[in-house]
Amino acid sequence: MGDSNWWIGLITGATAVVASWVAGRGATRSARVQAEVTAHAAQVAEARSRRRDAYREMSAAAHGLSEVFWRIEEADAAPPGEPRAAVLAQLRADGRAALNEVTRASREVVLEGPAPVAGAAQTLRLRAITTSRLLTRLTTGDEDAERARFDAAYRDFREEHLTFLELARAALDVG
């Protein structure tokens, strides 16, 4: 009898050691998977935050340029000649500065992606360049044809800004 108790004790002890080892491995694996999931979630949250910031900057830059374009009404209200030329010169200078911000912000969006939003940012930038060029063509004389082209380009620019916002919102949408 004493002999079988010894074997039973040995088998019970060995079983406990093996069970402990298996449980330890499972806990280690579980901890590693949990750490990987947590790290991935943190990376996704960080990427989403960077994208949101880039999209916000792009929208703010486009809005700033839009405000410059909207001030064309100041030129319309200015008396012909030097006063009108001065207003247009100021609009051109302000437009160049605002266009630089649009270009910088669009490059950030291109880096952050995804591709549909990056493409919309590039298209918005091109619309901004086109509208800015048409602003520089406006002179102090009779410019009805140039003004009509500017107005059409400005509408395209605003429409593209709305498209960018829709795509950016969709890219950030979690649910």
What are the residue ranges spanned by the domains of the chain? 47-172
Distance in angstroms (rounded) separating the CA atoms of residues 165 and 175: 17
Pick the range with the lowest mean pLDDT from 30-44, 109-123, 160-174.
30-44
Closest CA to 159 of 134, 116, 117, 128: 128
Quote the longest CA-to-CA distance of the chain. 120
d(CA 7, CA 67): 89
pLDDT given for residue 141 in this prediction: 53
Q: Is the pLDDT of residue 4 over 80?
A: no
- Summarised one tens digit per residue, pLDDT across range 12-53 is 887 877 778 777 787 788 878 888 888 878 888 888 899 999
Which of the 8 DSSP states describes residue 78?
A: S
Predicted TM-score (pTM) of the model is 0.77
CB half-sphere exposure, 101, CA atoms < 13 A = 17
Measure the CA–CA gap between 63 and 140, rounded to whole angstroms. Answer: 26
Residue in this structure with the two tokens 């001030």, named with its chain if needed: 71
User: Which residue spans within the chain are E strands per DSSP?
Assistant: none
Q: What is the pLDDT of residue 6?
A: 76
Instruction: Please tell me the predicted confidence (pLDDT) of residue 174.
Output: 67
Residues of 61-82 as b/e, b for ≥16 C-beta within 10 angstroms? Answer: bbebbbebbeebeebeebeeee
How far is residue 173 from each of residues 20, 107, 116, 145, 162, measured CA to CA in Å?
45, 22, 14, 42, 16
| Lookup: tokens for 149 | 């082209």
CATH 1.20.1440 is right for the domain spanning 47-172: no
Give the chain's mean pLDDT.
88
